[in-house]
Structure formats: C-alpha cells, structure tokens
A and B are shown apart, each in its own frame.
Chain A
Amino acid sequence: MVLVLIAVTTLNNAWPAFRESGLSFVTSRQWIPNEGKFGALAFIYGTAVIAAIAVLLALPVSVGIALFVTEVAPARLRTMVVAVMDLLAGIPSVVFGLWGILVLAPNIAALYNWWSDLVEPIPLLTKLFDHTQTGRAFFTAGLILALMITPIITTITREVFATVPRNDKDGALALGATRWEMIKGVVFPHSIGGMVGATMLGLGRAMGETIAVALVIGSTPQIVANVFAGGDAMPAVIANQFGEATGVHRSALIGLGVTLFALTIIVNVSARTVVRRVDVRLRGLA
C-alpha cells in the first residue's frame, strides 16, 4: 500500500518543477545557469554515451563469466567466481568513484593517447577516439560503470543459462559438437530473451548511477564524438550543481531528475516485460 503511495507522490512532487522549465528543456544544448538558459541535451547525450559504452564493455564480459560459471569452471572455482561477483556488487559506488578519480583517471590518459595514435589513419575511428589531455572523460565513466553493472548482468544471465535443459545440451554434445558449438547452437538461442532483459536492467542501472560518474566524467557539458573527451551526465550534474543552485536553476535540476526518472522507468519496465515473457515461455515448455 505504502509503495503505491510513494510512487505516486514522487511523480506528483516532481511534476510542477518540470512544467516550470519549459519545452526547450530537452531540445536545447545550452546550459548556462547564470543566464537562465537550461537545455539538457548535452547531459542526455552524455548519459546515453556512457551507458552505451558501459553496456558494450560489460555485456561480453558478463556473458563470458556466466558461461564460465555454468559450463567451464570446476565446482570449486565456481563458488569463487560467485563470491568475486558478490564482492564487486558490494563495493559502494563512491569507492569506485574515488578509485576512478585518484588512480584510474590520472594514469589512463596516456593509454587513450596511445590508442588515438594507433587509429589516426582510420577516418571514422580517429573522430571517435581523438587525443585528450585528461583521463576524466566519457570513456573513463563508461569503464567504471561497466565494472559496476557486470555483476548485475552476470547474475541474471547465469540464472537464465542454468535453465537450459540438460537434455538439449547433452543432445548437441552427443551429435559431436564441441563445447563452443553446443553453446552457440543450444545455450544462446534458448536464453536470448533473458540476455536482452539482463542487458536492459544493466542499462537502467548505468543510466541512474550518480556518484562514480560525477567524479570521473569531467563535468564539461558538450556534445562531441570523441569518447576520450570530458563530458557530463544527468545524474552527475544534479549531484555537482544542486548544492549551489537556487530558484529556477534548482527546479531545472529537479526537472532533470524527472527526465532521468522517466527514462529509467521506461528501460526497467520494458526489461521486466522481456524477462517475464521469457519466463512464461519457459514455463509453458516445461
């Protein structure tokens, strides 16, 4: 009962602040609080970019770990992998951020520039991976986020892989398939829906993550293709500016929160729907 109440009041309370900010809120890229200009496009762009980087990095790793646990690892190692994932999930995000800003960011700029040199001759890639002066960038934020969402995606995909019927797997092996061919032919087709759902849950988490991103993204609202440049994201700007904001600036930040809220709800609800549909299908088969 209480839950419903809370969900409703959240929307109710944030709604007026959003109306106040006007329509250009999501279409303008100008965010100059002193002149009363509030266009959140750069932040929305930043959130999208780092969430995309995080998912692109985390998905293969997570699926790899989940397969490792269900198909490859010996039983003793299996519990160890699960423990490592639990530890990773248990580290507070502010600690990730602290590590990111003090250890990762100062050292990774050199790596970024080395990579930029490497892809210089390739026209499209050099736009995407241009030189940089700082390690506080889109990519660093994406990297940290990837670490944070890996346990989530891994846990769910592992559960989905565990539901693949033993008979199907044994059947493939009996036909002479190697383990990899069995995984490709049996495990993946069976669990594609669950993998999509897990990815979207990870995406939702990545979009809403605040503190780690606020520390490493560089707080420079801009829309550039270079992922090694500094940027800014919706939750990060709320965390960084809310303390000194007043009046319209403050309600614009709350409006930003509402936008974020709406986006994550859309992502999460569709993820749950996908997962649930897969659930129903599997139960229907059994």
Chain B
Amino acid sequence: MTTTTAPPAVAPPSLRTGNVSRSRKFRDRLATIAMWAAFGAAALPLAFIVFYVVRAGMHLFSYDFLVTNIPIISSKPGPGMAPAVVGTLLITGAATLIAVPLGVMGAIYLNEYGKQSTLAKFIRLMTDVMSGVPSIVMGLFIYTIWVLRYGLSGFAGALALACLMLPIVVRTSEEILRLVPSALREASAALGARTWRTTVRIVLPAALPGIVSGAMLAVARAAGETAPLLFTIGIVSKPNTKLFGSNTALSAQIFRNAQVPFPAAQDRAWAAALTLILLVFLLTIAARLITARFARK
C-alpha cells in the first residue's frame, strides 16, 4: 500500500459480497422492491391522469375553444370556454396584485426588521396556521365579510385567492431574503445607508428572481383553486373583463360540468382541465427557469 494515493471516493459498500444470510438478503431485496413499487404507485396514477386529460381534452381543445362563449344550454355540444379563460386570468391576476406586494412586505418585515422578536414569531406562527386553512373556509370567510355586503364579483374571488397565496408568498420570500448574504447588508450599512434604503436598493434586487419564482408558484397554486371561488364569483356565460360584477373561472367550470350527465358538458370539462393544466405547468416551468438562473448566479 502506498501512502500517496488519493482518498477513495465515498461509495456505499457493496451488499453483494460477504456472508449475509439468505433470509436477510431476501428481506433487503423485498424492501428495495417495495420502495420501487411505492414510486410506481405514485407515478402510474399521475401518468393515467395526464394521459386521460390530454386524450379527452384534445377533442375540443383548439383556438376556437379559448375564444368562444360557453353555450347556455349545457347539453349542447361544441366549444366555448372564453369567459372562464378571461375570468381565471383576471381573478388570478388581481389576486397576485393583492397578495404579492403584501406578502413581500410581510417577509421584509420578518427578515429585516422583526427577526426574532415576539411579534415576528407570532406572525410566523399565524402564517403557518393560515397556510393550513382549508381553501373552502377562506371562501366562506370572504363570503361573510365581502359578498354579503357587496355581492358576488370577480374581485371577491380574487380576495379569497389572495388570502390563500399570502402565506405561501410570505414563506418563500422570507426564505429567499434569508439567503441574501449579510455582508451585502453590512457593506451598505457601513456606507451610511439606513435599513429601508439597504432593503430597497441592495437586498430586494439581490432577492428579486427568487421572490418572482416563489410568487409564480403561488400563482400556479391559486389558478387551480376552485373551492374559494364557488360562492364568491357567481357565474356568467359571456366574458366579463371587469373586475367587478359576476365572473367565472376555468376551475369553477370544470366543477360544474363534471357534475352534469351530458357528454357535451363533460367534453368541455376535459378541455377546460387541459387548458388549466397547461396554464399551471407553464407558470411552474417559468418559475423553475427563473430559479435556475438565480442559482447559477
């Protein structure tokens, strides 16, 4: 043996060699197979669902589908989801405009000002609790404080979605802010900048890509939500591009059409599902690309 060899790469010892008894070897094999099976048990249904949504959704999915109004008689075949597409984009967009600035400000408070104070800890606990609140309870909450007074509107749906997004945005933004090296902050402080100036000019630009990707994940989550929209936005069959007044959304339309026994309506539900999944995946992929660029920096 020479003393000059490089240290060997760390690798798990081989299990094939050695005097391992047959039953122990068998049990080890069995456990390994079970782990592979567990992966299969989750991957197979996923493949099934995606396959079905794509196959059944392709029937009706086309440019026409995205720009035609929903037929008023739901047993009538043919395309039409334009109001829902408009509604989903509008409501989710409005929810983003409400939740992201609030959430980022909350995260800035937690990470730059509050740190480990009692109030910051309490807010963190509340955020955790809020992220566990069922989405339908959020819908009921908005119903009681908004809809009862001002009626059904796309804005009420946006409020409900914003409530769901807020804890996600706060949590991810805080994680990202924590990753900004404190040397940057100290350098800024040494040059005489106040905390808010350091935050706005130094910390936020450094954390921006991460915050954007976190926000996009929250948006993807919100776009697919149905329960909080059921009794906050009402229903329309023509596109409503205004924030106020009744509106509809892709997820709400899928829910309605899935419960109707007409094949035509079910076809529309599948195509709407395909639209929604494409939307969510595009957002997720965009978020991932931004995160990847952030990581490379």
Contacts and interface: CB of A to CB of B under 8 A. Distances in A.
Given A84-B43, A208-B137, 10 more contacts: A3-B130, A3-B166, A4-B123, A86-B284, A88-B42, A180-B28, A204-B132, A205-B132, A210-B136, A242-B231
A98 B270 contact: yes
Contacts of B135: 208, 210
Interface size on B, as a range, is: 35 or more
B184 interface: no
18 contacts: A1-B109, A6-B163, A13-B141, A61-B42, A90-B280, A93-B225, A94-B226, A94-B254, A97-B255, A97-B258, A98-B254, A102-B266, A210-B136, A239-B230, A254-B140, A268-B128, A268-B129, A269-B128
B145 A268 contact: no
B39 A64 contact: yes
B134 A261 contact: yes
B223 A92 contact: yes
Interface string A91-134: 11111111101110000000000000000000000000000000
Interface of B: 12-13, 15, 18, 20, 24-25, 27-28, 30-32, 34-39, 41-43, 45-46, 48-50, 52-53, 56, 102, 106, 109, 122-123, 125-130, 132-137, 140-141, 143-145, 163, 166-167, 170, 220, 223-227, 230-231, 251, 254-255, 258-259, 266, 269-270, 273, 276-277, 280-281, 284
Contact of A181 (B24, B34, B129, B224): B24
A265 B227 contact: no
Contacts of A264: 132-134, 137
Q: How large is the interface on A (under 10, 10 to 19, 20 to 34, 35 or more residues)?
A: 35 or more
A268 B167 CA distance: 14
Contacts of A265: 129, 132-133
B39 A92 contact: no
Interface string A130-162: 000000000000000001001100100000000
Contact of B134 (A72, A208, A269): A208
A89 to B, nearest CB: 9
Given A95-B224, A96-B49, A239-B227, A65 B42 contact: yes
A151 B39 CA distance: 11
A9 B46 CA distance: 39
Interface in A44-77: 60-65, 67-68, 71-73
Contacts of A268: 128-129, 132
A185 to B, nearest CB: 13
Given A181-B24, A209-B134, A265-B133, A94 B273 contact: yes
Nearest to A183: B31
A260 interface: yes
Given A3-B126, A65-B38, A92 B225 contact: yes
B126 A178 contact: no
Given A90-B280, A93-B226, A99-B49, A208 B133 contact: yes
Given A14-B144, A180-B32, A85 B134 contact: no
A282 interface: no
B170 A3 contact: yes
A215 interface: yes
Interface in A1-48: 1-4, 6-7, 9-10, 13-14, 17
